[in-house]
Amino acid sequence: MKKGTVWVLGASSGLGLATAQAFAASGWLVIGGARSFECRDLDREDKLGFICLPLDVTNEESCDRFVRQAFEWSEQVDILVSCAAMLMLGSCEMTSTDEYTRIMETNFIGTVRMVQMVLPHMRKKRNGKIILFSSINGLLGIPFQSAYTASKHAIEGFAECLAMEVKPFGIGVCVVEPGDHSGGSTHTRLHANAESDTSPYSAAYQAATKVIGKDEAKGLSPDKLGAKVVRNAERRHMRFRLRVAKLDQHAAVWMHDVLLPSINAMILRQYYGAK
């Protein structure tokens, strides 16, 4: 007997894959969705340990099809985990509005779309849990990640509103705030097209992206994060915020909240190699 049914969005790599596998290992029926799951592949499902269905969270028709197919596997959805996300590196000036739109459509609007699709089912049975992946970047900004940072700030605000609204229906909400973790997928890490060697930000951009890459390479284990997400989900009442980060990133959030903005910005600029 399975503990229940979990839908994991963005389950093909990184933190989404680790979270899906952690739920499966804990005895849940896991239905994972991702764009790279273009068709049913039983060999891949045996290897990953959960059901894999195609899903593009930016496409309404794809989301509808995922929901229909998921309900064919299980008549219920007990937990929704939204991990689907893309990272765009680039300065605020050189990142185009189309590129901002692409990131917001995937990281924020796609999450909203899937939450709206599961809520009627959870409200009907007056039970359910929704886990939304934000980031440390949802709490503070760093140079050259403005699109990603904006999308994660949006997730933070949405989650706070959602938690208040759905509590009367017995639905819990958690927002996960990961710091740097190793093993991220390169195909979800993009660079703004206009951020070239001729960009006025080129030197600072190169320095910052080098630091970002170094931090990710030395990041925490995705498997441990997945296990923490599962433990929180299996509590009777989930913690609303689950921050999983190294001590220095916890400190960065604390400093962002208590220091003068000018001092905080100076520290971050220096850390990311600004001259």
CA contacts within 13 A on the Cβ side of 121: 20
Q: Considering only CA atoms, give the Rg of the chain.
A: 19
Structure tokens at 112: 């909203």
Domains in the chain: how many in total?
A: 1
Domain of 188 in residue numbering reads as 5-271
- CATH of residue 78's domain is 3.40.50.720
DSSP 130: E
Structure tokens at 226: 């997945």
**DSSP per position, 53-122:** EE--TT-HHHHHHHHHHHHHH-S---EEEE----EEEB-TTTS-HHHHHHHHIIIIIHHHHHHHHHHHHH
Q: Which helix (H) or strand (E) holds 175?
A: strand 171-178
In the prediction, which pLDDT does 217 show?
86
How does pLDDT run across 95-113, given as a tens digit for each residue? 999 999 999 999 999 999 9
| pLDDT range class, residue 38, cuts 50, 70, 90 | confident
The overall average pLDDT reported for the chain is 94
In the prediction, which pLDDT does 130 show?
98
Where in the sequence numbering do the catalytic residues fall? 12, 134, 148, 152
Contact 115, 82 (CB under 8 A): yes
Other C-beta atoms closer than 10 Å to the C-beta of 197 total 8
How does pLDDT run across 209-244, given as a tens digit for each residue? 999 989 988 889 999 999 999 999 999 999 999 999
- pTM of the entire predicted model: 0.94
